[in-house]
Structure 1
Amino acid sequence: MSHQDTYLVKLTDAIARQLGQLADRLSQLPPPEAAQIMARVVDPEDGVLGEVIHLFVTGSRVAKDQAEQGVLPPEVWLAVGRAANELHDIALALDEHHDTLKHAGSPPAAASWPPAPAPLVVRRRR
């Protein structure tokens, strides 16, 4: 393993650890602060999700090249590409909520009433 490969493995491990730490700390934040952190996570331009999607798109291109060379089976390329597409779809669905998350920590307007909790309803498919 080259020095560059060792560095990239360590970088990958460090990013995974930091994401775990972020998740652990997020669960301990007050709701307005947690919402603002989540807004940064789902930010389509500079957020964690956008960068993960970029990583999967790049990985899909690499996997395609390796599949064409016979290094990887084509199923691997297809699976990585499918994951990139699904993550992109998730980002699009979350994008409509980005501004709401971003402003959740802002103080409400003086004339507005405090928000009321909304009951969450789970619907079962039969």
Structure 2
Amino acid sequence: MTLYDPAALIRQITQEIGRLTAHVGTAPPAQAAQVLVEVMAPEGILDQVTSLIAAGARFAQDRAAAGALPAEVWLALGRASNELGAVNGDLAEHTEDLHRLAQAPPATTVAVAASALVARRHR
């Protein structure tokens, strides 16, 4: 049996995600898009975080049923898992666009009409 320190693993993962965040902010568009494609991929970071929160919700449900945690903890984690799942679905609609940008030659620029930059939210 291999023992590890979960807190150290969390710190390491957090640091690595911070490095990725900094990279996306400064990388050429194709590289930044490739990172986002990988993050949003099935079994990517976002999907794995969603699974982790869902596992936390199941854990909290068991602990709430035993009286060790308030039911609100279970409900909040369940709601967070559902919301992250919805976000995953919303982002999946745009994966192909990001993939296309990731494959674009570096000199390619795309002119975007200002009206296309208006945020649209649908649920």
Aligned-partner Cα distance in 2 for 1:30–1:118: 21
TM-score, length basis structure 1 = 0.82
CA distance in 1 between partners of 2:70 and 2:40 (Å): 32
Identity %: 37
Asked if the contact 2:30/2:104 (under 8 Å) is kept, the reply is: no
Q: Alpha-carbon deviation of 1:66? A: 0.7
Alpha-carbon shift at residue 114 of structure 1 (Å):
5.7
**How many equivalent pairs are there?**
115
The 2-side partners of 1:89 and 1:122 are apart by 17
Q: Which residue of 2 aligns with 1:118?
A: 113
SS at match of 1:50: helix
Counterpart position of 1:14: 12
User: 2:95 maps to what in 1?
Assistant: 98
Q: TM-score, normalised to structure 2's length?
A: 0.84
Q: Is the 8 A contact 2:61 2:71 kept in 1?
A: yes
Deviations 1:27-64 (A, max 9, x none): 11011111111011111x22110000010111110010
Answer whether contact 1:36 1:103 (CA < 8 A) is retained. no
Distance 1:66 1:73 in 2: 8
Unpaired runs of 5+ residues, structure 1, are none
The one-letter amino acid paired with 1:69 is A
Work out whether residues 23 and 32 of structure 2, in 8 Å CA contact, stay in contact via their aligned partners in 1: no
Q: Is the 8 A contact 2:60 2:69 kept in 1?
A: yes
Give the 3-state SS of the residue equivalent to 1:27 in structure 2.
helix
Q: Gaps spanning 5+ residues in structure 2: where?
A: none
